[in-house]
Amino acid sequence: MILEEIAKRKSGRAYDHDRPVSDEMIRSIIEAGRLAPSCANTQAWDFVVIRDPAIREKADEALTGGNYWAKRAPVMIFVVTHPKDGCSVHGLNYFMMDVGLAVENMLIQAVHLGLMGHPTAGWNEDKLKEIAGIPHDHKIATVVFFGYEYQGEPTFLSDKHQAIEREGSQRKEVSEVLHWNHW
């Protein structure tokens, strides 16, 4: 009973850098993010799509070494937020949860379109903000990469990442995470 797009979604690293993603597909991914639920409908997110090769090259330089694989993805999107734009209920600030909901919508939409998406940590936020003109008081919650999955043997990945691509990631059994009525 699980949606096919949810079951197929993975955070792969083997992107086909020779296969571009259309503007229409990118707009569809952004629209999916825009339609996500948010606390009190605050919609505390902005999306910066990096496509220009010169800007992309600079942004790629701001990635940490562990994200070397992301340089092959044709689309880089900064998901930006500001705490004051979200709502606070019972002392909890919901802006990051709201951003997470938007990103998940984007990832599922990417699968629906035949693409792969991978949200990341591991970049120089100040440098990315400067490159993209993002106000200093805003936060880049994540950088998400999108593109088509590479169909050959991904020899451009590290041995560790090649193994992960082949084997996939394992999920905990539902019995490990589901609690009925009490912990």
In tens, the pLDDT along 45-59 reads 999 999 999 999 999
Q: 129 near 140, Cβ under 8 Å?
A: yes
pLDDT of res. 10: 94
Angle formed at CA 33 by CA 30 and CA 38, multiple of 5 degrees: 150
How many CB atoms within 10 Å of residue 4? 9
What is the rounded average pLDDT for all residues in the chain? 96
Task: Specify if 179 maps to a domain.
Answer: no
Task: Specify if 7 maps to a domain.
Answer: no
For residue 37, give every residue at least 6 positions away whose Cβ sits within 8 Å of its Cβ, in sequence order, or none: 98, 101
Task: Specify if 21 maps to a domain.
Answer: yes
* 3-class secondary structure, 128: helix
Task: Specify if 182 maps to a domain.
Answer: no
Q: What tokens were used for 180?
A: 């009925």
Task: Specify if 20 maps to a domain.
Answer: yes
Q: 114 near 60, Cβ under 8 Å?
A: no
Q: 146 near 23, Cβ under 8 Å?
A: no
> What's the CA gap between 86 and 93, in Å, rounded?
7
Output the pTM of the full model: 0.95
Task: Specify if 175 maps to a domain.
Answer: no
Task: Specify if 94 maps to a domain.
Answer: yes
Flag whether pLDDT at 76 surpasses 90.
yes
CATH number at residue 25: 3.40.109.10
Q: What tokens were used for 80?
A: 């930006």
Range of the domain at 100: 12-166
Task: Specify if 178 maps to a domain.
Answer: no
**Number of structural domains found in the chain:** 1
Q: What is the pLDDT of residues 84-124, one digit of tens each?
A: 888 988 888 899 999 999 999 999 999 999 999 999 999 99
Helix (H) or strand (E) holding 146: strand 139-147
